[in-house]
Every structure is written in C-alpha cells, then in structure tokens.
Amino acid sequence: MHKLSRWMPQAPPKRVIPMSIILLAALVVVLVCLAISITAFVVATGLILLVALLGVYDRLRLRRLAERRPGESICTFARSFDRRAVDPWVIRAVYEEFHAYFGGTLPVRAADRIEEDLRMDWEDVDDLLGEVALRSGRSLERSESNPFYGQVRNVGDLVLFLMYQPKRGAA
C-alpha cells in the first residue's frame, strides 16, 4: 500500500544567498566602476537600482496576489484534481515546491499560468520539475512521449505531465 502523501519526505532546504552578500558584491561592482570611470559608475549604479526596484515590485505583486487568496492551502490545490486519478504524492510535491519557490507566501493554484501569472522562467520550472519528480517518485525519462510534453501552460498541467511520467524503477 502506498504511504499517504503527508508522510512524503521533506524537501531539502534550499541554499539562499544572504542579502548582505549580494549588497556587498553590488558595492564592489560600483566601486570598481567608479575607479574605471564616472560613466561606468553611473551605468552600474543605475542597473543595480533598476534590478532592486524590479525585485521590490515583484515582491509587492506576489504579496497582492497572495492577499487575494485568503485561506487557500494545499487542500484547496488538491481539491482541483480528481483524487482517484491523480497521485497525491505528485500533487503534494508540486504544491510544496512551487510554494517554497515563492518563499512560502503564495498559495499556488492549479490554474496559475506559469509565465503570465507566476512570471517564472522555464529554466526555474525545469529545476522545480526535477525536484518534484524526485520527491514524488517519478522519472523524467522518455518525457518526449508524454501527451503533455510541450503543452504545460499552468501548474495543473505540470501535475498532469508528471502523472503521465513513469514511476522510478518501473519499466
């Protein structure tokens, strides 16, 4: 008998670069540019400020999105799937990885479009997909033959994509 998904092993903690190291690196870049020329200093400072402002804007956007989802959790996410047809381990692994990706602040929905709503880069999605497959016991081999290959647009599609992937160790 398959263990309940709540007994799934926890994901290993992600290594996060402390903000102080990022700020120190930015300061070094600015000082080096200042030593080179005033133009390089102005350009580097402008780029660093632009990246910082975009980061603040994105955090505010995600906070507003999360505020529009009060009371939503993994239970809400799981109810959007047919529980007899979809492996609960896949559901839990997808939810937990996406939730962790957003710092544990955004309740993810199956209908969330990966590019438009979540504004995720597909390389990040591929990284998450590897983690999800590992945690849910799925293999990513022969994914080209998956009917959802190239059709993943939202988080729910990603769950269904993984459902059509073979279990690890299964032939």
pLDDT (tens digit, 9 = 90+) per residue, 46-62? Answer: 888 898 888 888 889 88
List the structure tokens of 165: 């992937």
User: What letter does residue 107 receive in the DSSP assignment?
Assistant: -
Q: Which amino acid is at 80?
A: S
Q: Residue 67 is inside which H or E element, if any?
A: helix 38-67
Q: Which residue has the tokens 């459902």?
A: 163
Q: What is the rounded CA–CA span in Å between residue 15 and residue 31?
A: 28
pLDDT (tens digit, 9 = 90+) per residue, 8-65? Answer: 666 666 665 677 777 788 888 877 877 788 887 788 888 888 988 888 888 898 899 9
Q: What is the rounded CA–CA span in Å between residue 73 and residue 113?
A: 18
CB 150 within 8 A of CB 121: no
Q: Radius of gyration (Cα) for the chain, nearest Å?
A: 20
